[in-house]
């Protein structure tokens, strides 16, 4: 008898580094988006999944943190689509009163810190 666990098909094209987090885990944190891709969600059939390789600065240690961020937020996906040519993006993710997630522009101080990375 030949036992073998079937391999799942790889859905992502890029290699990501760091510990993966959800978009809600980094709310209001200035981030630098190095690259991203949009794939089919493995959890919710018919939805898209946005995966972004990000860098941010740890407030306590000042260390650079690399982490992939994953979300099915259609507002974020719709905003970032077709922007591959203008990478890297300097932004942060916020939750507005309507409950949806949005990218917002950084202020000059936040952007200056990320530009040094």
What pLDDT digit, counting tens, does each position of 15-59 carry? Answer: 999 999 999 999 999 999 999 999 998 888 899 999 999 999 998
User: What average pLDDT does range 55-78 have in this prediction?
Assistant: 94
User: What is the tally of structural domains in the chain?
Assistant: 1
Answer yes or no: is 5 within a domain.
no
User: Considering the domain boundaries, does residue 31 fall inside one?
Assistant: yes
Mean pLDDT across the stretch 91-105? 96
Average pLDDT, rounded, for the chain: 92
Q: Which residue range forms the structural domain that includes residue 103? A: 21-115
CA nearest neighbour of 24 among 56, 72, 65: 72
Which pLDDT belongs to residue 11?
80
- Tell me if 103 is assigned to some domain: yes
pTM here is 0.87
pLDDT band at 106 (very low <50, low <70, confident <90, very high): very high
Which pLDDT score is estimated for 2?
65
Decide if 19 contacts 67 (C-beta within 8 A): yes
Give CA–CA dist 23/80, Å, rounded: 14
Residue 1 within a domain: no
**SS3 category, 41:** coil
């Amino acid at each position: 008898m030949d036992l073998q666990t079937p391999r799942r098909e790889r859905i992502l094209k890029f290699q990501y580094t760091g510990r993966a987090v959800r978009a809600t885990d980094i709310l209001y944190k200035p981030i630098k988006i190095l690259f991203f891709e949009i794939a089919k969600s493995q959890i919710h059939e018919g939805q898209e999944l946005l995966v972004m390789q990000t860098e941010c600065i740890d407030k306590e240690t000042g260390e650079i943190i690399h982490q992939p961020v994953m979300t099915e937020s259609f507002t974020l996906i719709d905003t970032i689509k077709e922007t591959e040519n203008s990478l890297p993006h300097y932004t942060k993710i916020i939750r507005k009163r309507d409950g949806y997630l949005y990218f917002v522009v950084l202020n000059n101080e936040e952007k200056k810190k990320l530009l040094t990375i």
